[in-house]
């Protein structure tokens, strides 16, 4: 077990957030938080990273975790280059130049490393966001909507990178509204809708149990059953 949630809730003034969520995340797995906008995916990730505290319920962690985190958006300083940003973060994480270089090459920003972020496209900024999450040691990688702004090539490369992290023994949890992306990559799924976990478990098992061909079909069925 990496973390267990028991009746976790985090409700905002607009009545959105996460409502009475219980779940179990196991070590060494690729886990998808899947659902539409406002489903509670980012709220759950912020609770896991400690950025927010639950309104009620509790999180129970297993062994000590070292977490690396990719938020859904980062306002990098526009006057700094990717090289400068990764160097600064590398210094904070005590990561040497060789690893910094490797990370920038892996996300395809090595040739543009000296350009300031001001001149980066949305996709390039997203890849820089991914680079900072891959930098440094961790056993739990949290990625919030990592496909945002990525073109098809880099979505495919993102899949490879997630699998690479799993091969290193890490637990990877990512949120997405792209159900096909979740199905292609995840072993475990937490399907959320309007702040509630409407299904969870091994992806192949929950599809078979509900006699669904894919995650999209399961999602629609669960929503209709709850109307």
Phi, psi for 13 (deg, rounded to 5): -65, -25
List, in sequence order, every residue forming a beta bridge with 30; answer none if it has no partner.
Answer: 172
Tally of domains within the chain: 3
Specify if 111 maps to a domain. yes
pLDDT number for residue 35: 95
Cα distances (Å, whole numbers) of residue 111 to 82, 96, 105, 227? 10, 19, 8, 51
As a whole number of Å, the end-to-end CA separation of the chain is 33
pLDDT number for residue 144: 97
Q: Are 219 and 225 in contact (CB under 8 A)?
A: no
Specify if 190 maps to a domain. no
Cα distances (Å, whole numbers) of residue 192 to 33, 47, 102, 147? 7, 15, 35, 18
User: Do 79 and 51 share a structural domain?
Assistant: no
User: Do 116 and 203 share a structural domain?
Assistant: no
**Residue 98 φ/ψ region, left for φ over 0, alpha for ψ in the -120 to 50 degree band, beta for the rest:** alpha
Q: Are 190 and 24 in contact (CB under 8 A)?
A: no
Q: Are 76 and 117 in contact (CB under 8 A)?
A: yes
What HEC string does 149-163 produce? Answer: CCCHHHHHHHHHHHH
Specify if 9 maps to a domain. yes
Residues 6+ apart with CB under 8 A from 96: 90
User: Do 79 and 27 share a structural domain?
Assistant: no
SS3 207: helix
CA distance 8 to 202: 21
pLDDT number for residue 13: 85
pLDDT number for residue 16: 87
* Enclosing domain of residue 223: 197-227
User: Do 160 and 95 share a structural domain?
Assistant: yes
Specify if 89 maps to a domain. yes
What is the pTM (predicted TM-score) of this model? 0.95
Mean pLDDT for each 10-residue chunk of the chain (227 residues)?
A: 95 89 95 94 95 94 90 95 98 96 98 98 98 96 97 98 96 97 97 95 96 96 80
């Amino acid at each position: 077990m990496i973390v267990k949630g028991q009746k976790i809730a985090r409700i905002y003034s607009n009545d959105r957030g996460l409502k009475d969520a219980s779940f179990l995340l196991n070590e060494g797995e690729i886990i998808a938080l899947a659902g539409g906008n406002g489903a509670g995916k980012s709220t759950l990730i912020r609770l896991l990273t400690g950025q927010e505290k639950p309104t009620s319920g509790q999180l129970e962690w297993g062994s000590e975790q070292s977490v690396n985190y990719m938020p859904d958006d980062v306002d990098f300083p526009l006057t700094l280059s990717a090289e400068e940003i990764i160097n600064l973060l590398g210094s904070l994480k005590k990561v040497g130049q060789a690893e910094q270089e490797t990370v920038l090459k892996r996300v395809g920003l090595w040739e543009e490393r000296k350009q300031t972020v001001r001149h980066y496209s949305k996709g390039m900024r997203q890849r820089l966001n991914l680079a900072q999450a891959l930098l440094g040691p961790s056993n739990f990688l949290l990625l919030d909507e990592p496909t945002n702004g990525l073109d098809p090539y880099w979505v495919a490369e993102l899949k490879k990178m997630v699998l690479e992290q799993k091969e290193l023994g890490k637990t990877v949890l990512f949120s997405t509204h792209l159900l096909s992306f979740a199905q292609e990559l995840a072993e475990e799924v937490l399907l959320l809708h309007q702040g509630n976990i409407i299904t969870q478990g091994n992806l192949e098992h929950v599809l078979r149990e509900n006699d669904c061909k894919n995650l999209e079909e399961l999602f629609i069925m669960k929503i209709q059953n709850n109307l």
